[in-house]
């Protein structure tokens, strides 16, 4: 049996979430949809993105930029599952 390719932590967490096919309860889905980065993190991501475009990221900044990317990917995955859960909940209650 072959193992799925592991690219990063977000890939692993994606498989963990997808493995349990159950939907999130509505209250949990609503809570997850409210998750977002604070403004200071958005500002930092913008700063790092500009440095990346300019080719001036240090190794430490590149690691930080990649960490933001992984967390953002995971958050997107959670919120996608939350939206799907709410849509299914609404369609079954109609």
Work out the average pLDDT over 4-8. 64
- Residues 14-63: tens digit of each pLDDT: 777 776 667 899 999 999 999 999 999 999 999 999 999 999 999 999 99
All structural domains of the chain with their residue ranges? 37-94
pLDDT of residue 3: 60
Q: How far apart are CA 70 and CA 72, in angstroms?
A: 5
- Residues 67-84: tens digit of each pLDDT: 999 999 989 989 999 999
- What DSSP assignment string belongs to 64-90? HHHHHHHHHHHHHHHHHHHHHHHHHHH
pLDDT of residue 19: 60
pLDDT of residue 41: 99
């Amino acid at each position: 049996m072959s193992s799925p390719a592991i690219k990063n932590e977000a890939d692993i967490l994606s498989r963990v979430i997808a493995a349990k096919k159950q939907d999130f309860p509505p209250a949990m889905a609503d809570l997850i949809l409210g998750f977002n980065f604070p403004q200071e993190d958005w500002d930092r991501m913008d700063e790092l993105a500009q440095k990346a475009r300019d080719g001036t990221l240090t190794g430490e900044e590149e690691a930080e930029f990649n960490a933001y990317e992984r967390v953002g990917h995971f958050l997107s995955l959670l919120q996608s599952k939350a939206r799907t859960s709410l849509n299914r909940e609404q369609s079954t209650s109609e």
